[in-house]
Structure 1
């Protein structure tokens, strides 16, 4: 009776060990490599560091689990055969037992929790590696000999065979917490640049702001002020013949105010076909130091324009510059009526509404209103200041949050030099 118990125990141990090795193989190849690397390098996890070495050079680990799987199968089958004489009965019992409990179940469990189980059970696998070393060593030696004969190199890391493989890896890493959701979306956006053409994200021709080369400095200044742009394309005969661009900073730094010609401000501008991949265009713009390019159609005409900001927004999402921010915080509710965030500077609001708002002692609209009132106005209170009727719409504590500004006839229009 005791021999029967020992044989059954031996069979169960064989099934258990077979399941351990088979499952660990699945977990090893399913583990999130980015997560393991993070644990090894950032968290200084010793098991993660050792597992990462095996991931980079998997031959030894693969040999341990395969030798272990076969030895467990042989051991369990021999234990069962020692108490059952009929071979067909041994096969009838052993086959479903090993198939279900040593293959299907453990592999499903390890596939669901590959990182945790691979790290936790690594010391156990290493112990079996030492115990099975007499078998593992000649197996590795034979493997190396066969590699030299057939000129096959060791696969040092999992190979990404396509961009879809990389996408899957990124998605798995995000699911396991190795990277943030925003980082996942950003990486996907970078990969999408390879298949995105310039015409898909360009500003179309009909929405372009441009001036002829015969325009005056005053006209150029007005367009910069009205649009909030810092670069304006310049054309010769028509919008189809864009010859360059003017940078607002060149105009601001120029002190020859009497010279109305804009020829001296015109810089070269890049022209790209509308089918150009956006990732190639990004590299070209970075290399040339330019921020804007004209997109041309197959006939050489202007199809639109694309900026460095447009490309970066494809990766990082919408980007707001200072003018964008000011426009977001100022809402026009009538012909001469505006709802304004009180944190905005006097200059920003003045530029948007087109009228002078000046005070050398304060910088923000909130400070300007309080200075004119001589105190902190209450919500709903109205006052007149420098040609504006100001209504306090919202206050927070000891400060003004939002106001309505109605332009009165006494308001002073801005001039080009203000």
Structure 2
């Protein structure tokens, strides 16, 4: 038994000596240097990252400081304007007090004159002045008119200043009532141009060998077809022109149905799908345009068909997250209500507001500023110059000449 333990001890000792006496060549002398080098790189990266963060914080602080300075300047400007208004009111009050004292004196004098005139007949006045009775009365009327018109210019200026000061308050009150009465649906755009793919095989056919099919489809509209953007089961259609994106969406839906039956896809099928989809979308534009025009109390049958289509195209146009058809309807209703309040032409105001963004129906296709295009379209269809001008100047392209322009 002791011999067995001795043999085991010798074996373990021999193994230990083997590992202790292992050649140093098996250790990598460059490894510590590499670790140190990597640590230095990481430290440099951290330093650079911190420097960028510090710079970003400095820029943010500078921007905040600049914003606060601008806010203070605006506050000082507003305070200055209010002080000016108060000074003008004070001046008017002083002038009004002076005018009141003057008028009181004049009234007193006139009362005395009236008493004297009562005591004397018109004949006596005529005799003393050497005038006939009619001439004497005419002279008295002139003196009275001069008295009444005294300080007329000052009173006119005071009335205008008060109107300018009170106008914002009245405008807010009118807008508050209009917004409460408006009650239209939200104009936030809800158009979505994603297509649910029911069979992954369709994706491959749509792309085509070497991407020939997808390139051909994108060249026809043009749009961007995006695969596997978050949801792998959805093909997204991208691009600036929402109208063409919806044409592409409908075309892809058609192709997916056809591929399920035929099992293949070629350029002829793609072209057919796009042509049919464009006709269907344009028919929908005609329908949406007629609905929107009718909503404004206008007759679609008396509206040029091309203009009806343009109005409908705005259903596939957005601006700042709003659907432009919804926005145009809102503006038409609001303009008509405001016009009724302020006593200007409600039809001119309503149509100008309704058509003010009509240029957005074609700006992605032809280019140019949408307000200039709106002017060209309305002039093309011989709309009232007041409607044309009011629609055109909604971005201050020209001077406001009539109440409807505002």
TM-score range, shorter chain: under 0.3
- TM-score, with length taken from structure 2: 0.22
- TM-score, with length taken from structure 1: 0.22
